[in-house]
Copies of this chain bind each other. A is one copy, B any other.
């Protein structure tokens, strides 16, 4: 399905970051923002920023910039955030319970309406007023409630099977925390949170900083020695 109004993938990837930054500005009571400021935050050029917004029909005024509110609303609409997305959390261990406590999700229209687990010591308990139900009751639950997104927060070993069951029940959105990849049908959307990839990227950056420091140190030592010889 091609659509000339469709925005390019690179722009799409930037939209959540724009949105989050705009929401920070709005919280701070800032009403407008320049492409220079946006570019600095996004680590792209101001002209790339203008191009991004122009792509979806939002142009700022020269020397004035963009209105934070309307820009945020426009991006939110492209991101499908002009509706409530209902979520259930599968796996109510520490991670699942940490996620249900994350208030900013609900503020953005992502509403947790159910929690599930198989552990008898968790089933029946409630988190933020949401009762943890047994995973085996999920099918009945879905017969009564419309769920957009299932959060997979089960141990790695059960992740694939859990995702398959959830998809089998007709859920079209999977937010996966289990560091396991799985194939999904074409009409299902998935996003993964990869803790270990992020940690590896940090490890790389740390190594680079260490090398840079070591090399500066060497250079510094070098010049001192030369100075002493003069």
Which residues of A does B touch, CB under 8 Å?
1, 12-13, 15-17, 19-20, 24, 78-81, 85, 93-95, 97-99, 101-102, 104-105, 108, 110, 148-149, 156, 172-173, 175, 179, 181, 187-213, 215-216
Assess whether A193 is in contact with B191, with CB atoms less than 8 Å apart. no
CB–CB B215/A202 < 8 A: no
State the number of copies, please.
2
Question: Complex Cα distance A202/B216, Å?
Answer: 43
- With beta carbons under 8 angstroms apart, the residue of B20, B93, B190, B212 that contacts A196 is B20
Say yes or no: B198 contacts A191, CB within 8 Å: yes
A37 to chain B, nearest CB (A): 13
Q: A110's closest neighbor in chain B, by CB?
A: B199
Check A201/B191 contact, CB under 8 A, given A94-B98, A104-B179, A173-B206: yes
Output the nearest chain B residue to A192 by Cβ-Cβ distance. B198
Asked whether, in the complex, the Cβ of A149 is within 8 Å of the Cβ of B206, the reply is yes
Residues of B within 8 A of A198 (CB): 16, 175, 191-193
